[in-house]
Chain A
Amino acid sequence: EAQVTQNPRYLITVTGKKLTVTCSQNMNHEYMSWYRQDPGLGLRQIYYSMNVEVTDKGDVPEGYKVSRKEKRNFPLILESPSPNQTSLYFCASSVTGYSGNTIYFGEGSWLTVV
């Protein structure tokens, strides 16, 4: 089954404790991306990757890091989480990074930073 899998789905952590949210897709997609969803603000892009070893900032990259060493994986790293990073996070992928391709989203990761 074609899917985007992210883990963990739910996490409560403390300020400053580094954490990684993993994302994996099994569709051989070139394009992968991370979004955060906050009430009233919709989906905002954090980082995206057009292909292996190619990443770039989205609209809200501050406080996040990513890497794309393999085509299928695109982890999101919070080096020193802060409470304002409490949010619902989605990983997404698409065949390529060009207009007109369907974006497939993961099920989401609820992150709470206390």
Chain B
Amino acid sequence: GENVEQHPSTLSVQEGDSAVIKCTYSDSASNYFPWYKQELGKGPQLIIDIRSNVGEKKDQRIAVTLNKTAKHFSLHITETQPEDSAVYFCAATSSGGSYIPTFGRGTSLIVHP
């Protein structure tokens, strides 16, 4: 089955800096890669996603890049703000069969004012 590795487990940055979270996956059939943000006391919420036919996608201060050859994808947050502090999960899903996403173990991002 699919295996998703996510790094780092904890990331501490100063407000205004950029933050990068990286994930690798093992199943070459995976074709959809969402990123979820979990704020304290809440459930994860989709913030951005990318499909395997696209190399990069941006939405304001966040962007995701995908390297299919190397089987890795990354979340980039620019001009970080304290409200970006949360746990971020990457996931990978396969094109075949049922939708059973495999999640990374999460990255706790702390943005210091």
Contacts and interface: CB of A to CB of B under 8 A. Distances in A.
Which has the most chain A C-beta neighbours within 10 Å: B6, B42, B44, B49? Answer: B44
Interface residues of B, number: 26
B51 A42 contact: no
Contacts of A92: 43
A105 B99 contact: no
Nearest to A40: B105
A98 B104 contact: no
Contact of A102 (B46, B51, B100, B106): B46
A98 B98 contact: yes
Contacts, number: 62
A34 to B, nearest CB: 12
B31 interface: yes
A105 B34 contact: no
Interface stretch (B14-22, B62-70, B72-80, B89-97): B89-97
A103 B101 contact: yes
A108 B42 contact: yes
B44 A90 contact: yes
A44 B102 CA distance: 8
Interface string A94-110: 10111111110111100
A74 interface: no
Contacts of B95: 99
B42 A96 contact: no
Contacts of B12: none
A107 B105 CA distance: 19
A31 B100 CA distance: 10
Contact of B32 (A58, A90, A97, A100): A100
B43 A106 contact: yes
Contact of A100 (B45, B93, B100): B93
Given A99-B32, A99-B94, A102-B34, A48 B46 contact: no
A99 B46 contact: no
Contacts of A40: 9, 105
